[in-house]
Chain A
Amino acid sequence: MAEPFSSTNTEPPAVEVVGLGKNYGPVKALDSVNLSIAQGGYTVLLGPSGGGKTTLLRLLGGFIRPTAGKILLHGRDVSGLPPNQRPTTMVFQSYALFPHMNVEKNVGYGLKIQKKTKTDIAASVERILSLVGLEGYNKRMPHELSGGQQQRVQLARSLVLERDILLLDEPLAALDAKLRKDMCIELKRIQEKIGITFVHVTHNQEEAMTIADRIAIIADGKIVEEGSPREIYERPQRKFTAAFVGENNLIEGKVINVNGDGLTMDAGFAELAAITKKQASVGSEIAISIRSELIRILDGNDGQAEGVQKIPATYLEEVYLGLTTMHLVRLPNGVEVAVRRISDDDADFGGTAGQEIIVGWNREDAGVHTD
């Protein structure tokens, strides 16, 4: 991975947290988190509700104080600094505009506080409003704007401060699905244009996949896993990630045999072979994951191919979802498994309820999770 000509080697990361912890009374919202975020990218903190995403973001922004650990922003320890003295600025989940100020005043207020001249303020506001696609909205009041527009104003109010790290706490959560998708692309475009570091919190994985350069999964106050969207989606390392991201089918069991490039797991009803470089000792509990689009219902010929893991199952039902159709089958151990196919790809794919079938997957497509 050595990149001798890359300047990123000499620049400190935009965000570096070490052993960061935060307790609310007895609740451990964040538990010794270590995380490093490079400058100038779009990072998404993804995780289930209550996982500690907001807590982490608010610690970075300086709105709350850590119980343990430290925070370095651009290599500088900011632990004692209030929000306005950090290189961060925050976009809040609620439409957090000043309700009594119009768009222009909302956006310009930060500059007014910095005692910029009226002409400077007007010029900056104009520039930022056009960046976020709100030219001509200067005189509108917040209640005269749609949710999406209000979030753009909030974005503008933060960007106008020209700080180096933008924190966004579920900025799109209140928007409908279509608008959320558009705003995702828009946010990404803005980030690429101005090149500052964006740290974006969400529990919506589609949003995360669309927007992120890097994703960090947070759950139970810990960073579970980090990687590019593709890595997180296609090669989740931890069992939690596999269960949380995408539509993975998880089969649990005990390791009964380990060899150089793989292992065999006893799932109770069958022995499954998997390819992995991970270390797992015989007898340990593991899980094998296979995404719903990579598992197939096999017919006679398909099952003969090299490297295919086959298991018996019972067909349950099909669920038409538009582009794809999901076929639900039950494994002998009672676990329900989803098999997803492009709809109408082959019309007679599937089966009738209760029919005994064989499902299978290519062994290299399955993931192995030791924790």
Chain B
Amino acid sequence: MSALLAIRDSLMGERGLQRWAFYIPVVFMALFFAAPVALTLVWSVFERTMFWMEPGFTLAAYENFFTSARAENYVYSMIHSAVAVVVSFVIGFPIAVFVRRRVVKAAQHRVILLFILPFMISELVRVFAMRPVLGRNGLLNTGLMELGIISEPITIILFSPIGVVIGDVISFLPFMVFAGFLAMEAVQTYIFEVCDDIGVGRARTFRDIIVPLAAPGIFAGGVFIFVNSLGVALVPTILGGPGAVNAGLIVNQAIVALDFPLAMAISAIMLLTLVVLLYVGHRLFDLTKILQPIS
């Protein structure tokens, strides 16, 4: 009886509650973060059966991946994703800098929140809406033809890798704007005054000062876009075409074919890609050092 009471006290007492408050995140991470990762790795080496899989150890799924066109498609998908990251940086980061530098302080956060609005629209609809814009007789082509800039409709921008990159950029650009905006917090106003004093031009300030200082944030935004471009199957499903798939779509196709170990193996490879990416980023930008407080 007293033992039970002691347990109850330790669980419900003030210290017990504090302990629970500490463990809840741990439990949450274990359940929803570590477990799926572990299962992915384990299942990827299971034996394939007709409708599911059975315990065992085989690298057949990996072999299947590396000896088929999937590996090649995966590499292309990485390249397309990298292009999407670069395009997002070129468009999105200047927007972030602009908002930080030119919009009145009090309004900055509101302006940035505007970029959330597209997320309110179902992603399916958002990506699908690109079709009538980019299509053969779409808004873009008819517009350009009316203006006499082109005589033939451009067909390479839909159902092609370019279409996928455009879709990725439009879908995930806000990540770069947010991350860039937050990263600009590391670039204090005095920096710009010092640059004015020295006579550093705009382009030079951007290249030598702003980008290096905001690098951790830019990198974080870039990783987000890269991972989504690589993994969200929806974009190539709707805007892609022959040869314009991404890793997520390859996984989807494997699941549709009921080849679960293959789906898991590809996921594991995506995971490894991300880990390598993060490691390289960490070494490159020396995140810990750059994030040290300035004063």
Residues of A within 8 A of B (CB): 61-63, 82-85, 89-90, 92, 94-96, 98-100, 109-110, 113-114, 141-143, 147, 150, 157-158, 161, 174
Contacts and interface: CB of A to CB of B under 8 A. Distances in A.
B191 A96 contact: yes
A109 B196 CA distance: 13
Nearest to A88: B197
Given A95-B294, A143-B293, A84 B198 contact: yes
Given A92-B190, A94-B295, A99 B196 contact: no
Given A92-B190, A96-B191, A98-B209, A113 B198 contact: yes
A83 B198 CA distance: 8
Contacts of B196: 62-63, 82-84
15 contacts: A61-B197, A63-B193, A63-B196, A85-B199, A92-B190, A96-B190, A96-B194, A99-B186, A99-B213, A99-B290, A109-B208, A141-B289, A143-B292, A157-B194, A174-B295
Interface of B: 186, 188, 190-191, 193-194, 196-200, 204, 208-209, 212-213, 289-290, 292-295
B295 A95 contact: yes
A157 B193 CA distance: 13
Contacts of A85: 199
B191, B194, B199 pick with most chain A CB within 10 angstroms: B194
List the 8 closest A-B pairs by CB distance, nearest first.
A84-B199, A96-B190, A110-B198, A83-B196, A83-B197, A143-B292, A100-B212, A99-B294
Contacts of A114: 199
Given A82-B196, A95-B294, A142-B294, A113 B190 contact: no
Contact of A143 (B193, B199, B200, B294): B294
Contacts of B289: 141
Nearest to A161: B198
Contacts of A150: 295
B188, B190, B198, B294 pick with most chain A CB within 10 angstroms: B198
Contacts of B292: 99, 143
A357 B252 CA distance: 98
